[in-house]
Chain A
Amino acid sequence: MNNDVTRAEQSEKIIELRLPSKLGYERVAMDAASTLANKMGFHRDRVDALKTAIAEAVTNAIEHGNQHNETMKVVVLLTVREGELIISVTDQSDQSIPPEVLARIPKIDEKFTEDDKGGWGIWLIRELMDEVEFKTAPTGGNQIRMVIHLEQ
């Protein structure tokens, strides 16, 4: 760990949200992240991108990770660092996300002919955020870590 990382971690501020696995509660995470991003000085377009990405991440955690089980929680961590906001969304699933799902790039031409119009979430998140990483959380469960940089 270099000195820059140490300084960033020392000055970071973390906001934690624990949400039930019920569709609709992604709005709580969206509004919390939006307020925080506005406070940090992000441009409105970037705030909108953040809201979309976090909504997709939390919705995935509710639907696929926690399988709509309302007793299971989705944990959202918003970490404020100098010049960036780190967002992690963790579910309580014991099933890993298949690599082919993470790598999938949806094609809009094919979607027109398919019954399932979904499957855009991970692609959207990658398009909207500056850094995206999928991993298993230290406590178990799938975790997506997203970073959005504050442009000067």
Chain B
Amino acid sequence: MIMSHSTQIHISFPSVLGYEKVARDAVASFAKFVGFDSHRLEDIKTALGEACINAIEHGNLLNADLRVHVLCTYEHNRFLVKVFDQGLKDYNKATKPISIEEKVAGLGTLRGMGLMIITELADESAFFDESDGSSCLQLTWYCDLASKT
């Protein structure tokens, strides 16, 4: 189904690893509803899963009393997903992510690939600091209407 007007869903969940799957699948259901194909759905699911895990682990420091909020909007072929956390641990904007080759060579931990994966899979991604102290990772995908009509 293709929709032209703005629609929005909001999901929130506690900062416990595993609950990101619920948000991931809810957003994927929304993305499928607005017309994304299966390949793009997998990109969205993977990137959002990583973003939510980052929010749980780093933004909210695994504090189950703190919530992760996911706001998902579709308007004019633009699928916008915002992931909010409490910003307890600042993300490092300045450091260039270590490459896979460098990781394989033992030059860094094998973890910490989330941001790189997110950057590769989303059409656009950016961090924002909110005025209330929380952090927002904004992910954007564009739905190609031409291929659906």
Stretch at the interface among A12-20, A91-99, A133-141: A12-20
B12 touches A28 (CB 8 A): no
Query: What is the interface size of chain A, counting residues whose CB is below 8 A from a CB of the partner?
Result: 23
A72 within 8 A of B: no
Task: Tell me the bound Cα distance from A28 to B18 in angstroms.
Answer: 18
Query: How many interface contacts (CB-CB < 8 Å) are there between A and B?
Result: 68
B22 touches A24 (CB 8 A): no
A18 touches B10 (CB 8 A): yes
B interface secondary structure, majority:
mixed
A interface secondary structure, majority:
mixed
B64 within 8 A of A: yes
Known A15-B12, A27-B33; judge A22-B25 contact (CB<8 A): no
A63 within 8 A of B: no
Question: Which 3 A/B pairs are nearest by Cβ-Cβ distance?
Answer: A32-B26, A31-B29, A18-B10
* A residues at B contact (CB < 8 Å): 13-20, 22, 24-25, 27-32, 34-36, 39, 70, 78
